[in-house]
Structure 1
């Protein structure tokens, strides 16, 4: 039986993974949400995509609002507020067929999802290995979404079930918030270290990463938002078969996340991010042009196997930029904003150029933004952790160690510390003569 201290170390990590799962579940269920809103409420493709975008805009706004405030509010309080908003908002959307109430519930629920994600991102950034923690969160949400994709088509149609499932997940995660730290107030409590303060580090790299991941997520979810319609109308799948394809695709994502977690930082971040995004671009092209069930399934499964792998490295990269978690929250919110723009972008592009034309556009965009993301990964991974320290490939674990470990002041002088005064030693004439003679004997080669 594990000791009480071991359980105390595991519980916060489990709570962060649970919050990550609850916050990311709505974006993972986006295809079925958009498709069921369109069928159940009689909305057109663009209108249903707009409702999905409104939901995700609420999620992004929560992240930008809480980027530097999670510590001040307290992780436990912020997480409970987010889960309450999810339960109330998504529960309201599930219980009504009135479009204004559905939209209002989606906005409130989306804000709750973003709040839960912000708390999880800030907490994961402070873990010893943020990449592995992000991979575990993606593993959990992929498993939950895959189970729902297999179950929901057999329980009936309409938008009620997916919204109710997300609300129920929020209620189920609530007990885990007991493991999170409460608000500490204006100062640290006894026995606690003061919070990390100071300006936002790596501003240029973080801004480039946030802008790139916004476009990256938008391109991914432009296709993800219309994948259901591609499978039903262009590839000729039934709804049950389409749900099975999505479930298998998310299962492939589970395998990809496991591999990413096992690899960790062995390959660095530049190779998985750059090469992975290029492969995703090819999968997007294949899925959007699929005219048969086999082609569609191949593209979707390969794409979903790669997507969470690259996302886990991007989230780990963002977490390594700031151990306080501010860049992790901001980059995650930028990703949510891109996700929010995805359904509308996919609907507009597919109506204007058809699904194959949409795929060509998104493929080109992904290849273009792979360049700056790879450059940021190479730049940050190659930075010394502290001036004069040894460089470490991967960056995140050692960066957090350097930010949180206190060196031994008696043995290691601090960089920038004031120099000690030199005390003069006064010698009489015989002592000076003896010292000079000893110096001359020690350096015979210097004599004239």
Structure 2
């Protein structure tokens, strides 16, 4: 029996710990601004530093998972996250807070990179990424319901992220079956689908920047423009993340029945409208509707983008690189949202972000159409008919198991010793089949 089903939950746990800081970004930025006397732009810059450090960890680990293994980087990343965020929670000194945020962000990025590489090599990366987003959405939703009632200034949200990292740390011992083993040689050779991968990575960077520009200032929109208390804003966010859970579950059930292009294109259009609605809201109803619609479709589209990146490379390099590019966009998001909201207002900010989201939908959807399926093992494609055979195998309805999945090792050729008597009989049989007809004297 395969160990893959047992290896899914450690990946989901590490993915949750790595992504949690980005999901709690509105609370982190808002509390830094309120409790440490920072301007919104300065608080957004601290949030951007966290996410940029996370992205740098992803770029540093991309393509090196096979040389480092999974357990070591995951453990180091979770330990750095716990130490960094714990340090930020225990001090009010801005230099120490920034140092802790950057350290914790690097740890989060390392954990996310390991989880992304592990998800990419699984039989169904879309399902596993859906479980990961389901887990992080549920965790963040519970914290949004809890944190506003406990106070604690900026300390509490950072402490929560550190505690989650420590709780997930023991799960890293079960990562051996989900990622390449330690001590193997690093991946060599060119990345496959380089043009599609670069377009996807660039599109995910812009897409994530637009999303997190809104997410980074959503708390301020609710408090300043709509006039809600922190408890009410937290309740709206919890409800929105609850809707996101339903969206992720729906994406998991839907799977690849509609392909990847249609969910990405349609979901991005709905997300753009939700951004405009949420940023221009002046009442609780419109604000809640925009946030709930946005959070419902954001993780849905993200699961398909992660699955698309995973399908481009058997060893998960594009999954890590595209995820790191998205983290760069995410890092720029809070600062961009803060600057746009201060200079142009929330409504104009929403229009700009919605337009950027729509513009990036076209190239990303084109990549999904161009690379519509998980290809065969490269050697098998060449031996069995090249690109047309790969296309038919990726889209056909053949028997499961007849086509090797991406990344599966090719079967070794076994040498069989044939006795001399049988060799002579095989030679005579070959002569008869070829039309030799005569008896051999051998």
TM range (shorter): 0.7 to 0.9
Bigger Rg, structure 1 or 2? 1
Q: How does 1:89-108 map to 2 (within 5 A)?
A: 89-108=84-103
SS state of the match for residue 358, structure 1? helix
Determine the structure 1 residue equivalent to 2:35: 40
2:23 and 2:180 mapped to 1: Cα distance?
31
2:181 and 2:261 mapped to 1: Cα distance?
37
Q: How does 1:10-409 map to 2 (within 5 A)?
A: 10-181=5-176, 184=181, 186-187=183-184, 197-381=188-372, 385=376, 386=381, 387=386, 388-389=389-390, 390-393=392-395, 401-404=405-408, 406=410
* 1:73 CA drift (Å): 1.0
1:82 and 1:10 mapped to 2: Cα distance?
24
* 1:197 CA drift (Å): 4.9
1:89 and 1:394 mapped to 2: Cα distance?
49
* 1:198 CA drift (Å): 3.3
1:394 and 1:282 mapped to 2: Cα distance?
36
User: TM-score, structure 1 length as denominator?
Assistant: 0.86
* 1:330 CA drift (Å): 0.3
Contact 1:252–1:304 (Cα < 8 Å) also in 2: yes
Query: Judging changes above 3 Å, is the alpha-carbon distance between structure 1 residues 392 and 356 closer, same or farther for their aligned structure 2 residues?
Result: same
Query: Judging changes above 3 Å, is the alpha-carbon distance between structure 1 residues 322 and 400 closer, same or farther for their aligned structure 2 residues?
Result: farther
SS state of the match for residue 401, structure 1? coil
What are the superposed Cα offsets for residues 265-317 of structure 1, whole Å, 9 maximum, x if unpaired? 00100001111101100000000000001100000001000000000000000
* 1:403 CA drift (Å): 3.5
What are the superposed Cα offsets for residues 393-418 of structure 1, whole Å, 9 maximum, x if unpaired? 499x99970441636969xxxxxxxx
* 1:71 CA drift (Å): 1.6
1:307 and 1:183 mapped to 2: Cα distance?
30
SS state of the match for residue 62, structure 2? coil
Determine the structure 1 residue equivalent to 2:421: none
User: TM-score, structure 2 length as denominator?
Assistant: 0.87
Determine the structure 2 residue equivalent to 1:439: none
What are the superposed Cα offsets for residues 227-252 of structure 1, whole Å, 9 maximum, x if unpaired? 00000011111110100000000000
2:184 and 2:15 mapped to 1: Cα distance?
28
1:284 and 1:75 mapped to 2: Cα distance?
37
1:230 and 1:64 mapped to 2: Cα distance?
33
Contact 1:20–1:120 (Cα < 8 Å) also in 2: yes
SS state of the match for residue 394, structure 2? coil
Instruction: Note the aligned Cα RMSD (angstroms).
Output: 2.6
1:342 and 1:394 mapped to 2: Cα distance?
40
SS state of the match for residue 266, structure 1? coil
1:232 and 1:93 mapped to 2: Cα distance?
25
1:227 and 1:237 mapped to 2: Cα distance?
11
2:92 and 2:312 mapped to 1: Cα distance?
44
Contact 1:56–1:110 (Cα < 8 Å) also in 2: yes
Q: Which runs of 5+ in 1 are unaligned?
A: 189-194, 411-422, 436-448
